[in-house]
Copies of this chain bind each other. A is one copy, B any other.
Amino acid sequence: MDVVVQPGVNWVTLNKTMEDSGLFLPLDPSPTAMIGGMVSTNCSGTNAFRYGTMKDWVINLTVVLADGRVIKTRRRPRKNSAGYNLTSMFVGAEGTLGLVTEVTLKLAVVPQDTSVAVVSFPTIDEAAKAATKLIRSGIQLGALEFLDEVQMQVINRHGSEAVRRTAWDESPTLFLKFSGTTEAIKGDVSRVKDIVQPFKPRKIFFARNKQEEADLWAARKEALWTMTSIKPEGYSLWSTDVAVPISRLAEIITLSKEDSGKLGLFASVIGHVGDGNFHQAVMYDPKNEEQQASVAKCVHDMMSRALEMEGTVSGEHAIGIGKKDCLVEELGRDAIDFMKTLKQAVDPKWIMNPGKVFDLPTGSKAIAAS
């Protein structure tokens, strides 16, 4: 129930290769993602609500350190309390502490069955309240995703043929994935209608067969691509993510949408609502300086607001170059200094992925990666 892979392996290819085993790596980031990047950003995606994030699926890492030594962070058991948890230290460190060359991954058992339901609501607030009720019901959801009315419009008009077979309601919508035994799913599906009822659902779709299941879920999977496909020539898409405590999610999404609306920007929201995590994708013309400033302000305000709500500036995309300043605001100077102390101790010349996560120390000779 584990597999050893190199960082250049694509996770979709890996899961295809293992298909016959009945096992899979249950993360669900972009289909283009590779294991190395998934490790270094602590990625997740739609399945995180049930399966957690990348850190929960890495058993051990082989890492080349800055001084050339090679270590293996842990041995092969799924459970381990021996020494410092170096595995979780390198996962999400964005390559700044060492170079990952091999990864042992835990695998999950493919569920016997899955199904999908889609429910639209009059407002974001009602969708969020229904989501909370679903989470608290104890139903075994595989995923719980949110798309706003803008994203639903885009899907209706620009989705693939499979997606356009459904007449989507253009209002805030929850996408539910059920996963478990066939009997369990039957019971769960029948409870969902009752649970969402108090929140004035507008349209409810339950997949009646595997084709409908695939068609319904495709709308969620295609969401980002539909936005990309309608982008005018020369325009860019600024996609960013923040996370907040689940109880604050409706509020921050509503406020962020108001902000982008006021600035005259075309933006859609996709949320991993089960994790309190959401993305706003904003379209802009990079040649238009005023518009570019508007997007930057919009994203910055979203991060500040997340921080005000005890949130984080990144739920799953990590820090990179763009969010370095916000990281200090998020965790405070002492926590950042502590992180830098660790970095300095294991990479005194700052040669590992320099310039990511933190700025280089003043006077440092290392050259920032492009």
State the A residues within 8 Å of B (CB): 1-2, 22, 41-44, 48, 52-53, 55-56, 65, 69-86, 88-89, 91-93, 97, 109-112, 135-140, 180-184, 186-188, 191, 243-246, 272, 275-277, 307, 310-319, 323, 327, 330-332, 334-339, 341-342, 344-346, 357
Which of A56, A78, A81, A318 gathers most chain B CB within 10 Å? A81
Identify 13 residue pairs between A and B in the complex whose beta-carbon atoms are under 8 Å apart, listed by A's number.
A1-B135, A53-B79, A53-B81, A69-B338, A71-B332, A81-B316, A82-B319, A83-B92, A85-B89, A180-B184, A182-B187, A183-B183, A342-B345
User: A277 to B181, Cβ gap below 8 A?
Assistant: no
A56-B52, A76-B310, A139-B181 given; A342·B83 CB < 8 A: no
Cα A44 to Cα B277 in complex, Å, equals 27
Contacts of A88 in B (CB 8 A): 55, 85, 88-89
Contacts of A2 in B (CB 8 A): 245
Contacts of A92 in B (CB 8 A): 81, 83-85
Cα A330 to Cα B80 in complex, Å, equals 11
Extra inter-chain contacts (5) besides given A1-B246, A52-B52, A184-B187, CB under 8 Å: A69-B337, A78-B245, A78-B276, A81-B315, A85-B91
Contacts of A74 in B (CB 8 A): 312, 331
Contacts of A93 in B (CB 8 A): 84-85
User: B71 to A334, Cβ gap below 8 A?
Assistant: yes
User: A75 to B140, Cβ gap below 8 A?
Assistant: no
Which one of B65, B84, B135, B277 lies within 8 Å of A89 (CB-CB)?
A: B84
Cα A187 to Cα B86 in complex, Å, equals 40
Cα A85 to Cα B319 in complex, Å, equals 12
A138-B112, A181-B140, A344-B345 given; A314·B53 CB < 8 A: no
Cα A78 to Cα B243 in complex, Å, equals 8
- Closest residue to A112 on the B side, CB-wise? B138
User: B77 to A334, Cβ gap below 8 A?
Assistant: no
Which one of B244, B341, B346 lies within 8 Å of A77 (CB-CB)?
A: B244
Contacts of A337 in B (CB 8 A): 69
Contacts of A84 in B (CB 8 A): 89, 92-93, 97, 339, 342, 357
User: A338 to B86, Cβ gap below 8 A?
Assistant: yes
A83-B331, A341-B346, A346-B338 given; A243·B319 CB < 8 A: no
- Closest residue to A139 on the B side, CB-wise? B181
User: B77 to A245, Cβ gap below 8 A?
Assistant: yes
Shortest C-beta distance, A213 to chain B (Å), equals 18
User: A65 to B315, Cβ gap below 8 A?
Assistant: no
Which one of B65, B135, B188 lies within 8 Å of A109 (CB-CB)?
A: B135
Which one of B139, B181, B313 lies within 8 Å of A187 (CB-CB)?
A: B181
User: A76 to B245, Cβ gap below 8 A?
Assistant: yes
Which one of B70, B79, B327, B345 lies within 8 Å of A44 (CB-CB)?
A: B79
A69-B334, A84-B89, A184-B183 given; A77·B243 CB < 8 A: yes
Contacts of A135 in B (CB 8 A): 1, 109
Cα A70 to Cα B80 in complex, Å, equals 28
Contacts of A313 in B (CB 8 A): 82
A335-B72, A345-B341 given; A276·B81 CB < 8 A: no
- Closest residue to A53 on the B side, CB-wise? B79
